[in-house]
C-alpha cells in the first residue's frame, strides 16, 4: 500500500491533538481571530474543491486492502465477514472503512482538525440510553476514532447517504436531496454551535422524544409507526432482555447459549482449560478493567460476580475481530450485567494521520467516545486480554454494556423524505461531536452560510458511490473465482 503524503495548508495551526487546547490558550485567540482563520482556510482550500474526487493513479486494490485487514483477525470468521459485505453495496461500504481512508488521504483539507468518528456512516448512528435513562440519538461506533480533518467524517457520511438511497431505488433527485440535507444539517448546526458558549456546546444533545416530535411532522404514517416501534424496542433492549435471549439455566445458574459461529461459550473455545484457570484469568481482566473506571463505577462493579464468557460475532466491518460478551450477576439471578469486550485494532486512519497517542487501542476508542459523544455508557473502559483467550496473542479491548437501551434505524425501509430527515439529524449529531472536539468558530466560518459545501459534497457522494459499486463488484468477482472464501446466510 502506498501512503500518500497529505497536503499541508497554511492553516495547519488549527489542527488539534494533545496540544491543541493549550495552543489556543497560549495564543489567546479572539473570536474574530478564529473567524478570520476559517475564512483564510477558504482561500487555501475553497469549499467547491470538495466536490471533486477521482481514483489515484496508484490506488490500492480494494480486495487486497480487505485481505490485509483479515490477517490479524479470527481466520474462521473472515468468510462470514465477506458474506455480510456482499449482501449489497451498502453493506460493503460499511465494511470498507479502510478502503475509503486510503481514498480520503489525498483529498483537499481546510486544515481544521477534530476528533474523528472515523467511520461516520448512516448505520453508525442510533438511539441509546443515557446514564439518566433518557433515550438519546448520537454516533454509536468509535472503533476508528482518531484526530483528523473534519472533512473525512462528513464525506463518509454523505457517501453513505447516496449509497443507501441507491439501494432503496430512489431517483437521482431524491438521492441528491437527501445528501444535501445531510451536509446542510452539519453546516447549519456548526454555525449554531459557533454562536454558543462552550458549556452550551458540551450540554447539547438530541433527545429521542424531540426527534419523534419533529419527525411526525415530516414523514408519512407508515414511517411514523416504524419510528415509534424503534423507540419502544430500544427502551426494552437491556441486560434483563439479554438474559432471556442469550442464556439458559445449567445446574441452576445462567450460562450462554451455544450458537456457533455467532456465539461460542469460552468452555467450547478452551475445552482443555479448567474452570478455575478461566476464572482466575477473568479475575485479573476485571481488576485491570476496574482501574479504568471512575471510583463510583468501580464500586458499582464490585457488587457483581463473574458467571460466564462467550465469543460473539458483531456488525459487518468488525466481523473477525475478537469480541466477547460477559455475564455478571448482582444481588441475585434477576440482577444481570452484560458487558461487551470488543477488540480495538489500530485505526484504519493511522497509516495516513499518524499513530494514536494511546498505547492501548481500547483506550483510544474510549477517550474518543468520551470526547465526542453526548453521554457515554457508565461502564465504558478498556483492558488488554490474556493471551489464552486470543490464540496466544494479546489484544486491546474496550468494554461497554451490551444492549444498553440501544436501537438502530431500518434505513432500507425509509421513504425518501424520511431518509432526508434522518440523514439531517445525523449531520447535526456529527457537527456536535466535531464542535466539542475542534474549533466550531473556525469551522463555521469555513462552511459558511451558503449551500456551496452542500452541493460540493453531493457531487462527491455521487462520484464515490460509483467507485464503491466498482469495489463491491471486485469483491464479488473475487468470491466467484474463489480468490476469497465467502460464507452467507449466517
- In this structure, how many other beta carbons lie within 10 angstroms of the beta carbon of residue 304? 18
How confident is the model at residue 226, as a pLDDT?
A: 61
The position carrying cell 480494494 is 62
Three cell numbers written together for 370: 468520551
How confident is the model at residue 7, as a pLDDT?
A: 40
Which secondary structure element, helix H or strand E, spans residue 132, and what is its range? Answer: none
pTM of the predicted structure, to 2 decimals: 0.89
φ, ψ for residue 257 (rounded to 5)? Answer: -65, 150
User: Which stretches within 59-171 are classed as H helix?
Assistant: 62-70, 78-85, 89-94, 97-104, 150-167
Any residues with CB less than 8 A from the CB of 241 and at least 6 apart, and which? 403
- Antiparallel, parallel or unpaired: β 146-149 and 206-207: unpaired
C-beta separation of 341 from 365 below 8 A: no
3-state helix, strand, coil in the chain (%, to 5): 50, 15, 35
Which secondary structure element, helix H or strand E, spans residue 264, and what is its range? Answer: strand 263-265
The position carrying cell 447535526 is 428
Which secondary structure element, helix H or strand E, spans residue 487, and what is its range? Answer: none
CA dihedral (28, 431, 364, 74) in degrees, to 10, reads -160
φ, ψ for residue 387 (rounded to 5)? Answer: -65, -20
How confident is the model at residue 135, as a pLDDT?
A: 75
Any residues with CB less than 8 A from the CB of 195 and at least 6 apart, and which? none
Residue 106, Cβ density class (10 Å: 0-12 exposed, 13-18 middle, ≥19 buried):
middle
Cα–Cα distance for residue pair 192/198, rounded to 1 Å: 12
Instruction: Report the chain (490 residues): mean pLDDT per 10 consecutive residues.
Output: 36 42 58 94 95 95 97 93 97 97 96 96 85 79 96 98 97 98 97 94 74 58 60 59 84 91 90 79 93 95 95 87 93 92 96 96 96 90 75 83 71 89 93 95 97 98 98 98 92
Three cell numbers written together for 151: 472533512
Strand partners, 341: 324, 399
- In this structure, how many other beta carbons lie within 10 angstroms of the beta carbon of residue 305? 11
The position carrying cell 408519512 is 220
Any residues with CB less than 8 A from the CB of 277 and at least 6 apart, and which? none
Nearest to 430 by CA among 199, 193, 173, 242: 193
- Antiparallel, parallel or unpaired: β 305-312 and 263-265: antiparallel
Amino acid at each position: 500500500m502506498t501512503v500518500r503524503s497529505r497536503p499541508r495548508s497554511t492553516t495547519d495551526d488549527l489542527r488539534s491533538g494533545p496540544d491543541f487546547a493549550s495552543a489556543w490558550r497560549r495564543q489567546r485567540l479572539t473570536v474574530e481571530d478564529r473567524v478570520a482563520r476559517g475564512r483564510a482556510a477558504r482561500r487555501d482550500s475553497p469549499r467547491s474543491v470538495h466536490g471533486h474526487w477521482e481514483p489515484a493513479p496508484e490506488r490500492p486494490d480494494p480486495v487486497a486492502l480487505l485481505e490485509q485487514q483479515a490477517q490479524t483477525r479470527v481466520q474462521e470468521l473472515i468468510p462470514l465477514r465477506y458474506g455480510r459485505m456482499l449482501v449489497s453495496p451498502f453493506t460493503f461500504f460499511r465494511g470498507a472503512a479502510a478502503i475509503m481512508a486510503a481514498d480520503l488521504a489525498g483529498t483537499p483539507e481546510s486544515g481544521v482538525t477534530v476528533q474523528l468518528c472515523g467511520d461516520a456512516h448512516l448505520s453508525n448512528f442510533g438511539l441509546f440510553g443515557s446514564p439518566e435513562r433518557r433515550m438519546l440519538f448520537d454516533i454509536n461506533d468509535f472503533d476508528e476514532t482518531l484526530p483528523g480533518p473534519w472533512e473525512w467524517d462528513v464525506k463518509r457520511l454523505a457517501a453513505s447517504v447516496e449509497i443507501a438511497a441507491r439501494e432503496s431505488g430512489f431517483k437521482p433527485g431524491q438521492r441528491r436531496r437527501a445528501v444535501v440535507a445531510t451536509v446542510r444539517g452539519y453546516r447549519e448546526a456548526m454555525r449554531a454551535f459557533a454562536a454558543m458558549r462552550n458549556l452550551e456546546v458540551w450540554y447539547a444533545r438530541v433527545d429521542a422524544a424531540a426527534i419523534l416530535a419533529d419527525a411526525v411532522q415530516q414523514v408519512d404514517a407508515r414511517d411514523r409507526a416504524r419510528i415509534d416501534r424503534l423507540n419502544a424496542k430500544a427502551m426494552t433492549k437491556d441486560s434483563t432482555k439479554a438474559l432471556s435471549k442469550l442464556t439458559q439455566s445449567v445446574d441452576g445458574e445462567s450460562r450462554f447459549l451455544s450458537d456457533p459461529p455467532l456465539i461460542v461459550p469460552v468452555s467450547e473455545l478452551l475445552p482443555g482449560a479448567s474452570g478455575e484457570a478461566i476464572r482466575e484469568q477473568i479475575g485479573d481482566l476485571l481488576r485491570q478493567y476496574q482501574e479504568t473506571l471512575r471510583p463510583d463505577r468501580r464500586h458499582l462493579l464490585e457488587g457483581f460476580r463473574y458467571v460466564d464468557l462467550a465469543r460473539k460475532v458483531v456488525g459487518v466491518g468488525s466481523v473477525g475481530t475478537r469480541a466477547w460478551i460477559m455475564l455478571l450477576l448482582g444481588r441475585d439471578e434477576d440482577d444481570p450485567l452484560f458487558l461487551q469486550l470488543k477488540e480495538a485494532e489500530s485505526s484504519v486512519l493511522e497509516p495516513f494521520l499518524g499513530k494514536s497517542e494511546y498505547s492501548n487501542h481500547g483506550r483510544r476508542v474510549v477517550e474518543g467516545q468520551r470526547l465526542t459523544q453526548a453521554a457515554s455508557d457508565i461502564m465504558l473502559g478498556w483492558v488488554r486480554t490474556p493471551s489464552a483467550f486470543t490464540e496466544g496473542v494479546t489484544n486491546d479491548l474496550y468494554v461497554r454494556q451490551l444492549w444498553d437501551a440501544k436501537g438502530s434505524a431500518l434505513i432500507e425501509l425509509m421513504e425518501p423524505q424520511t431518509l432526508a430527515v434522518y440523514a439531517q439529524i445525523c449531520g447535526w449529531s456529527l457537527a456536535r461531536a466535531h464542535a466539542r472536539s475542534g474549533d466550531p468558530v473556525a469551522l463555521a466560518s469555513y462552511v459558511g452560510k451558503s449551500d456551496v459545501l452542500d452541493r460540493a459534497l453531493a457531487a462527491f457522494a455521487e462520484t464515490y458511490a460509483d467507485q464503491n459499486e466498482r469495489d463491491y463488484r471486485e469483491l464479488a468477482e473475487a468470491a466467484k473465482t474463489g480468490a476469497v472464501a465467502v460464507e452467507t446466510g449466517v
